[in-house]
Amino acid sequence: MTSIEPVVLSVDGHGGDHGEQVVVAACLEALRADSSLEIRVCGIPDRLEKAVTAGSGPQNSRQSIRDRLTVVPATDILAMDVKPVAVLRRGQGSSMWQAFDEVASGRAQACVSGGNTGAMMALGVKLLGLLEGIQRPALMAHFPSATGYVAMLDLGANLNVSAAQLVQFAVMGAVAFDESRKILGENADPAIGLLNVGHEDGKGHELVKSAHGMLKALPLNYTGFIEGHDLFAGKVDVAVCDGFSGNLVLKSSEGLARMLFQELGKAFKSTFRARMGAALASQSIGKLVERFDPAAHNGAPLLGLNGVAVKSHGGADCRAMTRAILEAGQQARRKVPGRIEALIREYRLEAKE
Amino acid sequence: MTSIEPVVLSVDGHGGDHGEQVVVAACLEALRADSSLEIRVCGIPDRLEKAVTAGSGPQNSRQSIRDRLTVVPATDILAMDVKPVAVLRRGQGSSMWQAFDEVASGRAQACVSGGNTGAMMALGVKLLGLLEGIQRPALMAHFPSATGYVAMLDLGANLNVSAAQLVQFAVMGAVAFDESRKILGENADPAIGLLNVGHEDGKGHELVKSAHGMLKALPLNYTGFIEGHDLFAGKVDVAVCDGFSGNLVLKSSEGLARMLFQELGKAFKSTFRARMGAALASQSIGKLVERFDPAAHNGAPLLGLNGVAVKSHGGADCRAMTRAILEAGQQARRKVPGRIEALIREYRLEAKE
């Protein structure tokens, strides 16, 4: 990969179900993939050192890779089911706290964790702070659509939202949407849609109707209400919704895709003819499966904070965690927080709270 | 198909985007598939007669089929974007009103329409009435899952719900779930799950937490909170949620499945080897596509009314509309409304409103 703007990332060494081994392996993999990256991995030092040694196989043994990985000592790790309030009270010294503190202190430009979402939100707000005009952070992710990619937010950080917050999500999504992922369309401004049960102005509950009116008044490329089926049809670049619905849509879609590929696998094994066919079509089908593999899209930025924080899936394997780390690098290089703040100011939304 | 308990259905002759032709063709197809069915199709008489003549091809020309189809005259048809309040004021004489009136007057045991959902709800409540203990009707549908089928409700009839209403949905779903669609598991009581952003008791907003507590206290086979990915994994028979989230999950899932099958089709055409493979595997893949075709699952009962009403997709083709008509027959034979009322009474929920 060509060398671009250098970025320092901090990574929570114990975020997720798999512990240090997977995280460290992913750090090494990300450093190998992006030579202008530097990583500060936070955690219990001896465990991390052990993982670094284990992960430094022939591919990662080059000094240039190891030199760009620094262990930042933490005294504790947070449980996956930790309560946000407990993190704020007693979380100092934990690997997640350290990872956020690296960004807060300016030693890193972005942090990554596979830990508890609520804990990440609490630490993000405490240590990085909210951008002016943003009431709550929101989780966003990119998914493959028929025409390229669609970004959706919020994915579960906010279960109850106000119309003003939905508008803030739209502004954050417009900035954070990765333009390089847009395959069709030459319009520079990402097309934003608000998820609803119908396309017409009168459809939906008061919350979405109110946000709809506010969004129409802004100079965003707001295309109006979209329905669930528009999401994967590639009608918009960014889909906005409350975190409860967004979380259900995200997880049900992941579950459906997984089930369909499993059933496809079964169908390919069901008869001798099907097995022959599968062997012939395997390369083409493999590409398709890869494109829709959730691991290939892991790494959800927690937007609205005064700094870049990326949430990795708790069950992420090495490949998925590597994706989340590289996503954090992208968000930092694209200076997403500063651009969100500028747009909020341009739209004079910070005064409307 | 073997002859079972005779059922008379009323069908809205102009429900949906395709007009009378498709509806009448579906009526004839349903009558052919189920010889103990009788259908009263409501609409503008000459248009319906014309459609009957057009639809009576060699397959449907037998007198036994035509004899079981009666045209019920209506003076008007409702627009797809009609407002519920307008239907209540000026909808009398419309084909949808007639279809509901057939059930209200006892001439039919169930009605089917592909028209506007809000109009169906309004007419359902006005002409059939709500069951005692039910505050609002809810839309339910069955979807294929990894282990068989899962039923989900509400799918969009109620955008804002109370905890008590979620409990009512659970009771209605337990009764309306089609046990014959259960492939695995010997338990006679359908397993009910409440959709949420996490499995643990403390997760989610106040609404789902409150409904969770109420459901645990009932003698239903309530398995607790489920997440989006549990839906298609076959962990429960019935998944309960508010209509806003349910509608987004339903439509995004349909959209995702459609997109994946389209991409699969493209992958199969991408290379010569893939085309050869596709030809060999076509039978096995065809079965899979058929199983997940939304048309094969069309027909969502509007539960909670004192009579059976089934909503067909507005864009349903003949095959999909036939499915909805047959679903209405099943709901009537299974005496779903009476059984819901009995269970509500058994659980003493009618007094808790």
Task: Tell me what the pLDDT averaged over chain B comes to.
Answer: 90
List the beta strands (DSSP E) in chain A: 7-12, 37-43, 69-73, 110-113, 138-144, 149-153, 192-195, 222-226, 238-240, 300-303, 308-311
Task: Tell me what the pLDDT averaged over chain A comes to.
Answer: 90
Percent of chain A with pLDDT over 70: 94
CB contact (8 A) between residue A277 and residue B273: no
Q: What is the pLDDT of residue A14?
A: 86
Q: Which residues from chain A sit within 8 angstroms of residue B160, using beta carbons?
A: 205
Confidence of residue A1 (pLDDT cuts 50, 70, 90): very low
Q: Which residues from chain B sit within 8 angstroms of residue A205, using beta carbons?
A: 159-160, 244
Q: What is the pLDDT of residues A158-176, one digit of tens each?
A: 999 999 999 999 999 999 9
Confidence of residue A197 (pLDDT cuts 50, 70, 90): very high
Q: What is the pLDDT of residues B245-258, one digit of tens each?
A: 999 999 999 999 88
| A281's tokens | 């079509």
The residue with tokens 């239903």 is B220
Instruction: Reply yes or no on whether the pLDDT at B181 is more than 70.
Output: no
Give B209→chain A minimum CA distance, Å.
12
Mean pLDDT within A244-262: 92
CB contact (8 A) between residue B233 and residue A259: yes
| A66's tokens | 């190891």
List the beta strands (DSSP E) in A54-154: 69-73, 110-113, 138-144, 149-153
Instruction: Reply yes or no on whether the pLDDT at B87 is more than 80.
Output: yes
How big is chain A, counted in residues? Answer: 353
Mean pLDDT within B202-223: 94
Mean pLDDT within A86-93: 89
Q: What is the pLDDT of residue A184?
A: 52
Confidence of residue A311 (pLDDT cuts 50, 70, 90): very high
Q: What is the pLDDT of residues B20-64, one digit of tens each?
A: 999 999 999 999 999 999 999 999 999 999 988 887 777 666 778
Specify the higher pLDDT residue, B277 or A32: A32
Q: How far, in Å, CA of A11 to CA of A40, rounded?
A: 6
Q: What is the pLDDT of residue A148?
A: 84
Q: What is the count of residue pairs from A and B with beta carbons less than 8 Å apart?
A: 192
Confidence of residue A84 (pLDDT cuts 50, 70, 90): confident
**Residue B129: left if φ>0, alpha if ψ -120 to 50, beta else—which one?**
left
The residue type of B348 is: R
Confidence of residue B353 (pLDDT cuts 50, 70, 90): very low
pTM score: 0.91
Among A58-72, A210-224, A235-249, A333-347, the minimum mean pLDDT is found in: A58-72
CB contact (8 A) between residue B264 and residue A81: no
Specify the higher pLDDT residue, B314 or B222: B222
Task: Give the sign of the dihedral formed by CA B84, CA B86, CA B89, CA B94.
Answer: negative
